[in-house]
Amino acid sequence: MESCRALVTGGAGFIGSHLAEKLLEEGNRIIIVDNLSSGRTQNIEPLMDNPSLTFLKEDLKKPVHMDSAVKESDIIFHFAANPDVRIGDTEPRTHYEENVLATFNLLEAIRKAGKPKTIVFASTSTVYGEATEIPTPEHYGPLVPISTYGASKLSCEALIMSYAHTFSHEALILRLANIVGPRSTHGVIADFVRKLRANPSELEILGDGTQEKSYMHVEDCVGATLHLTARLLSNSRRIEVYNIGSEDAISVVKIAEIVAQAMDTRNVKYTFTGGIDGGRGWRGDVRKMRLSVDKLIRTGWKPKYGSEQAVRLSVQALVK
């Protein structure tokens, strides 16, 4: 991707910080916008001395400086969101405010800039809900998310697409599988590591353990994001939607075994909560998910790691 002025919302978060790091490596000028609710300054501390980086602590729910930040940018990578799917059962308003309202406010800042922009949005596989077609392609429908998180991301997709059409922006929608790797603070791997540190002899597994999903290493996620962004810019397409994930899947029980092995905990007793609604870990948990990434691969890019490799690398990083 040619050097540009980029804005990264959620740039102090897990995926956002890796994306920001890569953008700087490639010679881009970037503005990181983060309210530090889930992002952490330590994720971007090594980058702060770079003169090509500007950090703006800003809450997209109540933006103050976004108009000027957007005007200074050519590409907006919108990765800010509340990523915890499970809280939708008890705090659905959080997903609305942190995801939908924040996205609307960002789009309004882009509209007020008065100049067409390129928007790259981190969506999610959960927009598909319990897909009956696996691997699930981008054209699958109807989209029936079963979590407020998935619903909020689908709402964001619709808003971004409508603004792209109405105000002549370009939009790249990335439906991400489970992204794992260094700096991750939530999800099944981080959950297992925390639990085994607290009690090395027993591990509670949410659901019945048969849940099976696709996992992708954050290095591959960033690589795919920048590859597809460059492609969108060169092709001048108005809107593109891509699945981003690995070509396979891995079960929760297998992940538990990998974590236990990496932490050198022997004879771990697994206890299963049994789950709800047929073995789900929580309300809104999609039991089986594997995205079709054929469309991505046809562009000439392919993930370096499979699901098990991505999990193993992530476990190694988190255990350290």
Active site residue ranges:
149
DSSP codes joined into one string, 191-242: HHHHHHHH-TTEEEESSSS--EE-EEEHHHHHHHHHHHHHHHHHHT-SEEEE
Q: How many whole angstroms separate alpha carbon 316 and alpha carbon 320?
A: 6
Residue 42, classified by CB atoms within 10 Å of its CB into exposed (0-12), middle (13-18) or buried (19+), is exposed
What is the spatial distance between Cα 102 and Cα 39, in angstroms, rounded to a whole number?
15
In DSSP terms, 95 is beta-bridged to none
Token duo for residue 93: 């308003």
DSSP 302: -
Sign of CA dihedral 125, 131, 136, 140: negative
Return d(Cα 262, Cα 248) in angstroms, integer: 22
The 10 Å Cβ neighbour count of residue 25 is 10
